[in-house]
Amino acid sequence: LWTLKHEALVMGVSYSEDSSLVAICCDNKITKVWDLRTYDNVMTLDGHTNSVSCCSQNNFVLATGSFDKTIRISDLRTGNLLLHFGWSYFPCIISLIFSKDGF
């Protein structure tokens, strides 16, 4: 058993398809990615302006949704932001999931 300690409230968790990585999104506007083989924090993603409420992984891509009404899609190999978009007519983004075919 391994315990991850976060300074903020955990809002969502997403595992990679091979269960080697876990992404944990928190109410402090940050998502941390952990390598479950080494127990190292391999990436910290920021950029949301409100709590990160949900996340979903597909291969080397991580999508995060937030109470700031945006979705950010990042490359898990580099940490680079690939896409950022939002909806003004939704109060917040509370759920995300990639389909099995990757879209």
**What average pLDDT score do residues 83-98 get?**
87
101 pLDDT higher than 80 = no
8 Å CB contact between 70 and 48: yes
- Would you state the pLDDT for residue 100? 74
Cβ neighbours of 52 (radius 10 Å): 30
H/E element holding 44?
Answer: strand 40-45
**What average pLDDT score do residues 3-23 get?**
87
pLDDT in tens, 60-89: 899 999 999 999 999 999 999 999 999 877
**What average pLDDT score do residues 45-72 get?**
95
1 pLDDT higher than 60 = no
Provide the β-strand partners of residue 56: 63
Q: Output the pTM of the full model.
A: 0.89
8 Å CB contact between 27 and 16: no
Cα 55 from Cα 80, distance rounded (Å): 16
**What percent of the chain has pLDDT above 70?**
92
Sign of the C-alpha dihedral computed for residues 33, 76, 62 and 71 taken in this order: positive
Q: How far is CA 47 from CA 2, 17, 39, 42, in A?
A: 28, 25, 24, 17
